[in-house]
Chain A
């Protein structure tokens, strides 16, 4: 017997009660979109909708990283020696940037190559090329890592 998506989701406090303190106050639209998607994600998890959970969780991972990295442009620039956030790239690039500049500061979340692979299941050919039970495997992992990311980002950027 494995955990259901519903039971995993119920344990994810940052999915159910998102604080999103890392989103700058002036980015109201970012917050709206992420909150809406989180609500849909929780509903999908409660209904055990694996594929929907993977796609939506990947989408929120990207949105959260986009917003966070954009707001941390100056921080990265100081450490890197110059940095301009590129809003036209995607999840893989955002994860790479996050891992390079924040992995040591936010050790509670580990964004792996596998998470990009799971997100790519949005493409039909990628799922065809994956093991048959890939969705059952990926969905719980995506819920857990997203929950962890939201918690870590809020802790990093939130009020002291």
Chain B
């Protein structure tokens, strides 16, 4: 734990330390009451050099019909210090916050001033809240789906059958198309995977270096056919993988890769009539 004397709130390093302390505090607020799940933590009204910081915490669970504000809390609480810097926690239920948001209530304005999202649980958050706090967890145009190996493919004779098998499980891969033929029979795109970190879950481009540890690529190298089934029922056969340096793809993904290398997959649409009978 950093010592108070090391904390220079006016520098960028100082801000990082402050962020780390606030994240530690957010961690402590995640689990005290199992009836409430922390869905969003926002550091708002950020100003360097300020002794007191503000956190907004929104919880999923029974409605809380008001904002509850805590006494200011020392951020070095873990070290037993009662001195600065401090944080004041403003907590509310998601429902209540959303209601106020839809009413465009002016009392929410302070929460949107100079804010930074420290934690979010996307699955618990309403689209309006995600948008208002600029939480973008997936790139535009992302289609999500599943890998179907040759064995599974042969088991199901219809798209309905495949969807019935997969639709209830979490999507395991994503695709941002980079090109599609005019007849929609062929396309290619950047492979994505869902990655969690301490702040939330994000759909990010698949690392080319990690590709060989994946089932689709392994099957492909072994000469076995593989398929992608996307939400909604689009079914494609994998034609080939390509790892390419493509700085222009930075605009298509949420987080540009440092080396500009992306995993691109080439696909051909598969129609139910092409599937063998079980």
Seen from chain A, the residues whose Cβ lies within 8 Å of a Cβ on chain B are 1-3, 77, 80-84, 92, 95-97, 99-100, 103-104, 107-114, 116-117, 130-131, 133-134, 137, 140-141, 144-145, 147-148
In the complex, are the beta carbons of B199 and A147 less than 8 A apart? no
In the complex, are the beta carbons of B213 and A145 less than 8 A apart? yes
Please choose the segment from B62-70, B82-90, B107-115, B162-170 that sits at the chain A interface, where 4 or more of its residues have CB less than 8 A away.
B162-170
Which A residues lie within 8 Å of B15 (CB)? 81
With an 8 Å Cβ cutoff, the count of chain B residues facing the other chain is 43
A-B contact pairs, 20 of them (CB 8 A): A1-B224, A3-B218, A3-B222, A81-B2, A81-B18, A82-B1, A84-B24, A96-B197, A99-B196, A100-B198, A104-B258, A107-B208, A108-B207, A110-B193, A130-B169, A131-B168, A141-B215, A144-B213, A147-B213, A148-B213
Return the CB mask of B235-275 against A: 1 if under 8 Å, else 0. 00000000000000000000000100000000000000000
Closest B residue, CB atoms, query A143? B213
In the complex, are the beta carbons of A144 and B214 less than 8 A apart? yes
In the complex, are the beta carbons of A107 and B219 less than 8 A apart? no
Which B residues lie within 8 Å of A77 (CB)? 2
Seen from chain B, the residues whose Cβ lies within 8 Å of a Cβ on chain A are 1-2, 13, 15-21, 24, 78, 149-152, 165-166, 168-170, 172, 193-199, 201, 206-210, 213-215, 218-219, 222, 224, 258
Cα(A104)–Cα(B256), bound, Å: 11
B6 to chain A, nearest CB (A): 9
Closest A residue, CB atoms, query B204? A103
In the complex, are the beta carbons of B149 and A112 less than 8 A apart? no
In the complex, are the beta carbons of B195 and A84 less than 8 A apart? no
B62 to chain A, nearest CB (A): 24
Cα(A48)–Cα(B1), bound, Å: 46
The residue among B19, B194, B197, B199 with the most chain A CB atoms within 10 A of its own CB is B197
Instruction: Pick the 8 closest A-B CB pairs, nearest first.
Output: A81-B16, A81-B17, A100-B197, A110-B210, A82-B20, A81-B20, A108-B209, A99-B197
